[in-house]
Amino acid sequence: MSTPKFIKKMAVLVAIEATAGTIVVPVAADAIEVSDVTLTPIEGDEVDQGVIRPYFGASENVLVTLYRKIAFSVGFAGVAAKGDLPGWATLLRACAASCTNTPAPGPGAGTVFAPVTDGIESVTIYAVVDKQLYKMAGARANVKAQVDAKQIPKWQFEFTGSFLPVEDMGAMPAVNYSKFLRPLGVNALNTTLSLDGFNAACNSFAFDFGNSVVKQDLMNVDTTEITGRASTGSVTFRNTSVATKNWIEMARTSAKVALTLKHGQGATNTVSISATRAQIGKPSFSDQDGIQMITVPLRFIPSDAGNDEWSIAA
């Protein structure tokens, strides 16, 4: 009888590639503290041969593309000291984001992420399940943030990368999770959201990079590409009087307004998402504890300069 593989004995390590698709062997410092993991060990397009015989029966399928996917969540938390890189910095870089770090003790110490169109980086991922290694090369991703009241906020990543044979390892890899802080709960003490200058009594904020991630498998080409971006989001909060904010009229005129979410109220362990041109979409209503809530969908629009529809600071 075979020895069982325990799903909770798992490590995920992610390293930036110098050349897209060329494996980089990650080290302990590349370990990612993950939850909600879904590993798809083999994915691809299947084609039915369509063989005709003198009797009924299925014909064989052929896998004409091969790749691997992994999805996981990471805590929406900041850093221990200003100027440190957050543990999820490598992941955002593989989601078509630049990373500008100003180390301490200089003024303005911190890290800012912004969208990019050119020079999109890729990563090597090692997902190890109880000493079985699933590698991905040239991996890129889309990411969402979910920040809900009375919950732990999370980044939600979905990576696509090349398929490589599964390997047995003699031992689980060494890991170092020191870059990952405990995320703070979403509540009045820790979290604020401003939409068009209005401090909303917010129940939920969602943010989606909106990357189009495609797997290209052609003659002499085996890559994962990000081919477009349409960043969106939504905010759910207590509805207001028209005199305070006329959300319906703002939707009718497709108003573009400023948005700032800040999670964490201290000098460190904070994450902020900001946008100057969040377009108001068609609102909808819901009931929470007998109170009318309004959900406002958002589209984050770049200026003529481009690659500036949002920024993330840690």
Q: For residue 192, with 0-12 CB atoms within 10 Å meaning exposed, 13-18 middle and 19 or more buried, which class applies? A: middle
Antiparallel, parallel or unpaired: β 154-162 and 211-218: unpaired
**% pLDDT > 90, the chain:** 96
| pLDDT of 107 | 82
pLDDT of residue 108: 86
CA dihedral 195, 196, 197, 199 (to 10 degrees): -30
| 296/279 Cα distance (integer angstroms) | 10
Phi-psi region of 131 (alpha: psi -120 to 50; beta: other; left: phi over 0): left
Reply yes or no on whether the pLDDT at 216 is more than 90.
yes
Q: What percent of the residues of the chain are helix, what percent strand, and what percent coil, each to the nearest 5?
A: 5, 50, 45
- Confidence band, pLDDT 50/70/90 cuts, at residue 178: very high
What is the average per-residue pLDDT within 98-116?
Answer: 93
Task: Indicate whether 195 pLDDT > 80.
Answer: yes
Residue 1, pLDDT > 80, answer no
User: So what's the pLDDT on residue 235?
Assistant: 98
Q: Comparing C-alpha atoms, which of 123, 70, 126, 137 is closest to residue 93? A: 123
Q: What is the dihedral of CA 50, 53, 55, 58, to 10 degrees?
A: -30
> Residue 36 has what pLDDT?
97
Average pLDDT over residues 26-54: 97
pLDDT at 161 over 90: yes
Determine the average pLDDT of the residues in 161-179: 97
Distance CA 124, CA 154 (A): 22
**pLDDT at site 52:** 95
Q: What does the pLDDT average to over 196-205? A: 97
Using pLDDT thresholds of 50, 70 and 90, give the confidence band for residue 139: very high
Mean pLDDT of the chain: 96
CA distances (Å), origin 31, targets 105, 124, 230: 26, 12, 29
pLDDT band at 105; cut points 50, 70, 90: confident
Which pLDDT does position 56 carry in this prediction?
96
Report pLDDT digits (tens) over 238-297: 999 999 999 999 999 999 999 999 999 888 999 999 999 999 999 999 999 999 999 999
| 167 confidence band (pLDDT: 50, 70, 90) | very high
CA distance 313 to 112: 4
Instruction: Report whether 110 contacts 83 (CB < 8 A).
Output: yes
The predicted model scores a pTM of 0.95
